[in-house]
Amino acid sequence: MHDTHRRIFLQSAAALGLAGLSMPLFAAGKVRPSDKSALIVVDVQNCFVDGGTLPVKGGADVVPVINKLSTAFENIVLTQDWHTQGHASFASAHAGQKPFSSIKLGYGNQVLWPDHCVQGTEDAALHKDLKLPSAQLIIRKGYHKGVDSYSAFEEADRKTPTGLAGYLKQRGIKTVFVTGLATDFCVAWTALDARKAGFEAYVIEDATRAIDLNGSLAKAWKEMQAKGVKRIQSSDIEISA
């Protein structure tokens, strides 16, 4: 399926520079990203920081961490939540429902959110302080009105791919490092789907922040650990001076 609205190839690399284990699974020692590694920056947008429509506590704090990490990576992909007006994930689209409640949709359980990250709004824009001059691709997700999409790899119906897995495999990528917002939703789903697609996956914990809705953060870490996602800190990444 060709989906030109989904993937934005960044022609100018400078574009963004201008604008089941009992214990957590930690990586041992320093990790040196190679040309077979990719940094995935998930949904670092105005809507998810203070002043946005669905702010994640401390969301903007990930920006300088991600900027520093980016210098260690040749391959960088960003995602962007990109909802239509009246999206199925919005509480306002369902009479009598309130934000942060849950309902059943055709593809399963859906948390209902405040209206957020609406296409073409400043709220949906990437954070202005992101400095990622080697970023090559933006994956837009959640823009099909009837289905949400937390993962960078696959929509919530679990059958509609974004094309990211193929893009990475064509470039010989073997390992992904996931950062961004929010740890317990889009970051976790992205890391889990990376494993499902055959990639080694790390989540860089201090380059993420969580919503933590009714214990969702602990649940997400447990699920990621069970699937072999490695939990590390930015200090575990070897960055050249």
Q: Which residues are catalytic?
A: 43, 141, 186
The Cα 153–Cα 161 span in angstroms is 6
The torsion angles phi and psi of 116, rounded to 5 degrees, stand at: -155, 155
Residue 46 near residue 122, CB atoms below 8 Å: yes
Describe the strand order of the beta sheet including 200-209 as a list of residue ranges. Answer: 7-9, 135-141, 76-81, 37-42, 175-181, 200-209, 230-232
DSSP, collapsed to helix, strand or coil, labels residue 87 as: coil
Name residues whose C-beta falls within 8 Å of residue 159's C-beta, 6 or more positions apart in sequence: none
The residues pairing with 38 across neighbouring beta strands, listed in sequence order, are: 176
**Between vectors from CA 167 to CA 163 and to CA 169, what angle results, nearest 5°?**
120
Q: Tokens 């009105």 belong to which residue?
A: 145
Q: What is the CA radius of gyration of the chain?
A: 17
